């Protein structure tokens, strides 16, 4: 199953879906779940909902998000280059020197590179000293253009989406890519759904999966849930940081994030299963974090909520996790939905 998980993650990571432009990833999910034999549907704003085992009460909702960080064209500069604004919360330095793809409203695509305005180390001290922000950084388009008019003539305009090159690869069990937050979890849920269908795994309660498309801006799971849900588990990246116990090989169980504590009983249930199944896990606090589960509860959904995920290092940058963490997360979720 490890390779199946990785295959789904790689495909998702290589499908551009900056928050606000997730149509390709939505279609991929719809197509794949339909092939598995499910009947996925979408909410008005684009979330993909997959009924795994339908019912009217005591339902469990597993969520992951397929929207990612990205950029948007703020304006075209007089030199023909592009000033950007961020989609989601990350420092622009995390995307410096990255290849990008501009996706216009008409569907045209243009490649380029995000870099500081004067990137030559032989020309100035800017590469060492300059502040990395939208004033001092720009996208250089891979077209011969030297003016506002020339770039505009290409069909590029303010409001066009910009996707970052994910650079997906696996080395010695370490999975490295942009957008493992949260495509690692989304790919893993796909693998669980495939396993359930192919092996006729018995689920003892109603079960749904939802793949949200606006998590990075805070309202992914705020609405549009199936009827009868009582528990929601957000499956999202575990934070790897100095005083936290999570690393890339572990399953992280979050007790509290910036929204407050997660449900005591549901979180305890997950901890007990991790212990029983001998899963390598850590309980941690995420001080700068909010999840789809917290968004759902804050939006007045009457759910017990929890947050778990594989440990992911360098969050919102070029991220890294490990197959051990992914497999542990898979085992924990599979054990929980069968209990």
So which residues are the catalytic ones?
A: 215
Known binder of ligand: residue 181?
A: yes
Say what angle helices 264-276 and 323-338 make with each other, to 10 degrees: 110
222: enclosing H helix or E strand: none
Please give the Cα distance from 234 to 230 (Å, whole number). Answer: 13
Q: What are phi and psi of 133, to 5 degrees?
A: -145, 180
Choose among 242, 248, 216: nearest CA to 313: 248
Please give the Cα distance from 229 to 135 (Å, whole number). Answer: 46
Q: What are the residues whose beta carbons fall under 8 Å from the beta carbon of 122, sequence distance 6 or more? A: none
Known binder of ligand: residue 280?
A: no
- β-pairing verdict for 174-177 and 260-261: unpaired
Choose among 66, 41, 38: nearest CA to 53: 38
Tokens of 144: 């011969």
Known binder of ligand: residue 65?
A: yes
Known binder of ligand: residue 236?
A: yes
Q: What are the residues whose beta carbons fall under 8 Å from the beta carbon of 222, sequence distance 6 or more? A: 295, 296, 298, 299
Please give the Cα distance from 166 to 47 (Å, whole number). Answer: 22
Residue 68: is the preceding peptide bond cis (ω within 30°)? no
Choose among 112, 100, 96, 99: nearest CA to 151: 112
> Within 10 A of 56 (CB to CB), how many other CB atoms are there?
9
DSSP helix, strand, coil percent of the chain (3-state; round to 5): 30, 30, 40
Q: What are the residues whose beta carbons fall under 8 Å from the beta carbon of 149, sequence distance 6 or more? A: none
Q: Could you tell me which residues are annotated as the binding site?
A: 65, 181, 216, 236
Q: Could you tell me which residues are annotated as the binding site for Zn(2+)?
A: 65, 181, 216, 236
């Amino acid at each position: 199953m490890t390779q199946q998980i990785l295959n789904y993650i790689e495909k998702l990571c290589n499908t551009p879906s900056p928050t606000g432009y997730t149509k390709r990833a939505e279609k991929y999910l719809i197509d794949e779940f339909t092939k598995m034999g499910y009947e996925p549907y979408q909410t008005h704003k684009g979330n993909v909902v997959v009924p795994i085992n339908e019912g009217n009460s005591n339902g469990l909702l597993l969520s992951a998000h397929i929207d990612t960080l990205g950029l948007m064209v703020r304006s075209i500069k007089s030199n023909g280059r592009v000033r950007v604004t961020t989609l989601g919360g990350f420092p622009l330095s995390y995307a410096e020197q990255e290849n990008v793809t501009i996706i216009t409203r008409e569907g045209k695509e243009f490649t380029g590179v995000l870099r500081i305005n004067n990137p030559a180390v032989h020309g100035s001290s800017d590469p060492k000293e300059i502040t990395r922000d939208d004033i001092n950084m720009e996208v250089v388009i891979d077209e011969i253009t030297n003016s506002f008019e020339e770039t505009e003539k290409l069909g590029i305009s303010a409001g066009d989406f910009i996707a970052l090159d994910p650079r997906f690869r696996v080395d010695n069990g370490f999975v490295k890519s942009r957008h493992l937050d949260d495509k690692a979890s989304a790919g893993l849920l796909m693998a669980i759904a495939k396993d359930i269908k192919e092996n006729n795994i018995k689920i003892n309660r109603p079960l749904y999966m939802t793949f949200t498309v606006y998590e990075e801006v805070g309202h992914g799971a705020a609405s549009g849930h199936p009827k009868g849900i009582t528990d929601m588990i957000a499956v999202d990246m575990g934070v790897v940081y100095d005083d936290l116990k999570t690393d890339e090989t572990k399953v992280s169980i979050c007790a509290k994030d910036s929204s407050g504590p997660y449900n005591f009983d549901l979180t305890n249930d997950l901890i007990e299963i991790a212990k029983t199944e001998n899963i390598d896990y850590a309980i941690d606090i995420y001080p700068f974090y909010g999840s789809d589960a917290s968004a759902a509860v804050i939006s007045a959904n009457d759910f017990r909520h929890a947050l778990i995920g594989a440990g992911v290092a360098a969050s919102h940058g070029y991220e890294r996790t490990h197959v051990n963490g992914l497999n542990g997360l898979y085992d924990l979720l599979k054990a929980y939905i069968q209990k």
